[in-house]
Amino acid sequence: MAKHTICLIEGDGVGREVIPAARRVLEALGVDAEFVSAEAGWEVFERRGASVPGETLDAARAADAVLFGATTSPSRRVEGFFSAIRYLRRELDLFANLRPARSRAVPGCVPGVDLVIVRENTEGLYVAQERRYGDTAIADAVITRSASARVGRLAAELAARRRGDLAVVHKANVLPVTQGLFLSTVLEEAARVPGLRVRDVIVDACAMHLVRDAAHFDVLVMTNLFGDILSDLTAGLTGGLGVAPSGNVGERHALFESVHGSAPDIAGQGVANPTATVLSAAMMLDHLGEGALARRLEAAVDATLQEGPRTRDLGGEASTDTFTQALIRRVS
Ligand code: NAI
Ligand code: MG
């Protein structure tokens, strides 16, 4: 029996190109895994009336990890439709979103960056409880001690395994009740981890510091909305969406995905950059306890980005397939 069960969800658009590419690379790397494929997203919603069919949730729950492509969400309201990724994050209780940003040999990348944003993944403003009273609209931001504590603990433990520096990013000066609860709870959790350097940073100042001196940061932990925004900023500092990976983790389950979406503007052309998904697969290998394979995979990505061939988004001319074959040669 294979050591790991990996559930692959291609989703829509370029998800159908980058997931098969990542699978080929994982197979060439020699990962001892059984791959199980499952459907999710807009296309399956149109066909079957559900963006995450029951058997997909079962397959995701039964697997040791999920590797997710990307799904399309319509920008208009569609009766009965919900976002596949938000549903999976909730159903699998994936409470922390890890978004590493690391300098690589790609155009426009700021040198010396090696940080991880840990984004609380279940609450904050993203509970999406909105109301409107005439010309006034109100949104709730929910912060709980339990969700803040578990994400805080995870971030502190991650920092302890890295360079030992944790920045708690917040806006407690303006929102002392909600952001204040998050800040004080995370600081309590961080204080339990010996040897950490912990500082709190107000989110707007943090944005400025990231642009001017991202190399100064190791692990940053923050509420949902701030993490969504600042992790796109750090992706922008380190080469853009084509190379930005992420992991959603909980107590029992884990799902790894590129930060980018289904890229309908280039879908079906065979030109999508699979790097973000392959780097997400490397994070997945770490999660599965396959650190040595993860390092080999990252090294192959770094060498390929350095020496070429490169995909179009990084100024090259390589197709998804050509780039994937170059990766396969380096990991085999
Ligand atoms: P997007 O990330 O799909 O695309 C933004 C830009 O980056 C486009 O120009 C695209 O061509 C380029 N790009 C993205 N991935 C690339 C890759 N692998 N290689 C080369 N270029 C790449 O964001 P957009 O256009 O705002 O959203 C498109 C759809 O994706 C929407 O339906 C949105 O809801 C969905 N989406 C899904 C996400 C997910 O499944 N987790 C995350 C973000 C968006
Ligand atoms: Mg985002």
Taking the centre of ligand 2 as the mean of its atom positions, its distance from the CA of residue 225, in whole angstroms, is: 9
Dihedral angle sign, alpha carbons of residues 263, 266, 268, 273: negative
Closest CA to 278 of 40, 82, 4, 29: 29
Mean pLDDT in residue range 157-181? 98
Mean pLDDT in residue range 65-87? 93
Distance CA 119, CA 226 (A): 8
Mean pLDDT in residue range 128-132? 92
Question: What interhelical angle do 203-213 and 224-237 show, nearest 10?
Answer: 10
- Does residue 297 carry a pLDDT above 90? yes
Q: Are 258 and 277 in contact (CB under 8 A)?
A: yes
- In testing the pocket of ligand 1, which one of 260, 275, 321, 323 has its CB within 8 Å of the most ligand atoms? 260
Dihedral angle sign, alpha carbons of residues 15, 17, 20, 21: negative
Mean pLDDT in residue range 79-97? 94
- Ligand 1 in reach of 262 Cβ (< 6 A): yes
Structure confidence by residue, pLDDT tens digits, 250-268: 999 999 999 999 999 999 9
Mean pLDDT in residue range 167-187? 98
The alpha carbon of 140 is separated from its chain's Cα centroid by a whole number of angstroms, namely 24
- Does residue 1 carry a pLDDT above 80? no
- Does residue 174 carry a pLDDT above 90? yes
Residue 135 identity: D
- Ligand 1 in reach of 72 Cβ (< 6 A): yes
- Ligand 1 in reach of 83 Cβ (< 6 A): no
**Average of per-residue pLDDT values in the chain:** 97
Q: Are 259 and 283 in contact (CB under 8 A)?
A: no
Taking the centre of ligand 2 as the mean of its atom positions, its distance from the CA of residue 231, in whole angstroms, is: 8
Distance CA 297, CA 326 (A): 12
Tokens of 305: 């980005």
- Does residue 97 carry a pLDDT above 90? yes
Structure confidence by residue, pLDDT tens digits, 146-156: 999 999 999 99
Distance CA 163, CA 182 (A): 23
pLDDT at 214: 97
Q: Are 241 and 18 in contact (CB under 8 A)?
A: no
pLDDT at 2: 87
- Ligand 1 in reach of 227 Cβ (< 6 A): no
pLDDT at 304: 97
Distance CA 119, CA 112 (A): 22
Taking the centre of ligand 2 as the mean of its atom positions, its distance from the CA of residue 32, in whole angstroms, is: 32
Question: Which CATH superfamily, name and number, covers 1-95+242-332?
Answer: Isopropylmalate Dehydrogenase (3.40.718.10)
pLDDT at 101: 98
Mean pLDDT in residue range 51-56? 98
Task: Please list the active-site residues.
Answer: 126, 171, 204, 228, 232
Distance CA 244, CA 279 (A): 8
Mean pLDDT in residue range 238-242? 93
Q: Which residue has the tokens 């998800």?
A: 15
pLDDT at 128: 86
CATH 3.40.718.10 spans which residues of the chain? 1-95+242-332, 110-237
- The pLDDT-based confidence of 237 (bands split at 50, 70, 90) is very high
- The pLDDT-based confidence of 167 (bands split at 50, 70, 90) is very high
Domain 110-237 sits in CATH at: 3.40.718.10
Residue 108 identity: G
pLDDT at 75: 86
- Ligand 1 in reach of 73 Cβ (< 6 A): yes
Tokens of 193: 């981890």
Degrees to nearest 5, angle at CA 318 with 315 and 323: 115
- In testing the pocket of ligand 1, which one of 262, 320, 322 has its CB within 8 Å of the most ligand atoms? 262
